[in-house]
Structure 1
Amino acid sequence: MGFLERLDPELKEKWTFESEMPIQARMIPAMLDGRDVVAESPTGSGKTLAYVIPLLMLVDGGSNRTEALIMAPSQELCMQILEVLRNWTEGTDVTVTQLIGGANKQRQIEKLKKKPTIVVGTPGRIRELANDRKLKMHDIRHIVLDEGDQLLGRENRSDVRSLIDAASPDCRVSVVSATVTDEIRLVADRFMTDPLHIRVEAGEMPAQGKVVHSFVKVEERDKTDLIRRLSHQENVHALAFINNTDQLLMKESKLKFDDAPVAVLHSGMNKMERKRALDDFRDGKVRILIATDVAARGLDISGLSHVIHIDVPRTAEQYTHRSGRTGRAGADGEVLSLVSYPDEKTYRKLTRELTGKPLQKVWHKGALIEGSSKTAPAGGKAGKAKTGGRTNAKAGSKPQSKADGKPSAKSGGKTKGKTGGKRSGQ
Structure 2
Amino acid sequence: MGLSVEVVETTELGDRSYVAHDGAVAVVVDPQRDIDRVEAVLARHGLRCALVVETHIHNDYVTGGHELARRTGAAYLVAAGDDVSFDRDAVSDGDVRTAGSLTVRVVATPGHTDHHLSYVVSRGAESAVFTGGSLLFGGVGRTDLVDPDRTEELARAQFRSARRLAAELGDDVPVYPTHGFGSFCSSGSAAAGATSTIGDERRRNDALVEQDEDAFVTKLVAGLTAYPRYYAHMSALNRQGPGAPDLSPPEPVDPDELRRRIRAGEWVVDLRDRTAYAAEHVGGTISIALGDRFSTYLGWLIPWGSPLTLIGETADQVADAQRQLVRIGVDRLAGAAVGTPSELAKPEEVRTYPTATFADLARARADAGVHIIDVRREDERAAGHIPGSTHIPLHSLLDRLGEVPRGRLWVHCAAGTRAAIAASLLARAGHDVVLVDDDFAANSHRFG
TM-score, normalisation: structure 2: 0.32
Higher relative contact order (CA 8 A, sep 6+): 1
Structure having the higher Rg: 2
Higher strand share: 2
